[in-house]
Amino acid sequence: MDHHIDIPKCLRAFATILEKGEKMEDGYHLEGITAQSLDHGYTVVLRSRQCCLNIYFHNQFGLESPGQSETETFIRHLYRIAEQ
Protein backbone atom coordinates (compact mmCIF):
# COMPACT_ATOMS: atom_id res chain seq x y z
CA MET A 1 0.00 0.00 0.00
CA ASP A 2 1.47 3.38 -0.98
CA HIS A 3 0.62 6.30 1.27
CA HIS A 4 1.12 10.03 0.87
CA ILE A 5 1.39 11.40 4.37
CA ASP A 6 2.16 14.99 5.31
CA ILE A 7 4.84 14.26 7.92
CA PRO A 8 5.23 17.88 9.12
CA LYS A 9 1.47 17.99 9.76
CA CYS A 10 1.66 14.70 11.67
CA LEU A 11 4.50 16.14 13.75
CA ARG A 12 2.27 19.13 14.55
CA ALA A 13 -0.39 16.65 15.70
CA PHE A 14 2.25 15.01 17.89
CA ALA A 15 3.13 18.38 19.46
CA THR A 16 -0.56 19.17 20.03
CA ILE A 17 -1.14 15.83 21.74
CA LEU A 18 1.86 16.45 24.02
CA GLU A 19 0.57 19.93 24.80
CA LYS A 20 -3.14 19.20 25.28
CA GLY A 21 -3.25 15.48 25.98
CA GLU A 22 -3.34 13.54 29.21
CA LYS A 23 -0.03 12.03 30.28
CA MET A 24 -0.28 8.29 30.91
CA GLU A 25 2.25 5.54 31.46
CA ASP A 26 2.44 4.70 27.74
CA GLY A 27 2.52 8.28 26.40
CA TYR A 28 0.15 11.18 25.96
CA HIS A 29 -3.49 10.59 24.99
CA LEU A 30 -5.83 12.91 23.13
CA GLU A 31 -9.01 12.06 21.21
CA GLY A 32 -8.18 8.37 20.89
CA ILE A 33 -4.60 8.92 19.72
CA THR A 34 -1.53 8.01 21.79
CA ALA A 35 1.72 9.88 21.16
CA GLN A 36 5.12 8.87 22.42
CA SER A 37 8.76 9.50 21.60
CA LEU A 38 11.37 6.74 21.42
CA ASP A 39 15.12 6.56 20.88
CA HIS A 40 15.90 9.94 22.47
CA GLY A 41 13.41 11.70 20.20
CA TYR A 42 14.57 10.19 16.92
CA THR A 43 11.37 8.17 16.59
CA VAL A 44 7.87 9.54 17.11
CA VAL A 45 4.94 7.14 17.47
CA LEU A 46 1.29 8.06 16.87
CA ARG A 47 -1.23 5.28 17.29
CA SER A 48 -4.92 4.58 17.55
CA ARG A 49 -6.64 1.29 18.26
CA GLN A 50 -6.19 0.20 14.64
CA CYS A 51 -3.24 2.11 13.17
CA CYS A 52 0.30 2.99 14.15
CA LEU A 53 2.49 5.61 12.47
CA ASN A 54 6.21 5.61 13.29
CA ILE A 55 8.08 8.71 12.14
CA TYR A 56 11.83 8.27 11.98
CA PHE A 57 14.81 10.54 11.47
CA HIS A 58 14.75 12.50 8.16
CA ASN A 59 10.94 12.18 7.94
CA GLN A 60 11.02 8.51 7.00
CA PHE A 61 8.00 6.64 8.30
CA GLY A 62 6.38 3.26 8.76
CA LEU A 63 2.65 2.72 8.92
CA GLU A 64 0.79 -0.30 10.24
CA SER A 65 -2.88 -0.48 9.38
CA PRO A 66 -5.45 -3.17 8.60
CA GLY A 67 -6.59 -1.40 5.43
CA GLN A 68 -6.86 1.72 3.29
CA SER A 69 -10.09 2.94 4.88
CA GLU A 70 -8.64 2.74 8.39
CA THR A 71 -5.48 4.50 7.22
CA GLU A 72 -7.42 7.36 5.67
CA THR A 73 -9.57 7.80 8.78
CA PHE A 74 -6.48 7.75 11.03
CA ILE A 75 -4.55 10.27 8.94
CA ARG A 76 -7.56 12.62 8.67
CA HIS A 77 -7.88 12.45 12.47
CA LEU A 78 -4.20 13.37 12.90
CA TYR A 79 -4.59 16.29 10.48
CA ARG A 80 -7.61 17.58 12.46
CA ILE A 81 -5.61 17.42 15.69
CA ALA A 82 -2.74 19.27 14.00
CA GLU A 83 -5.09 22.17 13.22
CA GLN A 84 -6.13 22.69 16.86
Domain CATH code at residue 57: 3.30.310
Report helix, strand or coil for 69.
helix
| Cα 75 to Cα 4: distance, rounded to the nearest angstrom | 10
45 within 8 A of 35, measured Cβ to Cβ: yes
- The full DSSP string for 1-62 is ------HHHHHHHHHHHHHHSEEETTEEEETTEEEEEEGGGTEEEEE-SS-EEEE-GGG-EE
Q: Which domain holds residue 29?
A: 7-82
The per-residue pLDDT string of the chain (84 residues; one tens digit each, 9 = 90 and over) reads 456 899 999 999 999 999 999 999 999 999 999 999 997 779 999 999 999 999 998 889 999 999 999 999 999 999 999 999
Residue 2, in any domain of the structure? no
Residue 57, in any domain of the structure? yes
Note the pLDDT tens digit of each residue in 62-75.
Answer: 999 999 999 999 99
pTM value? 0.92
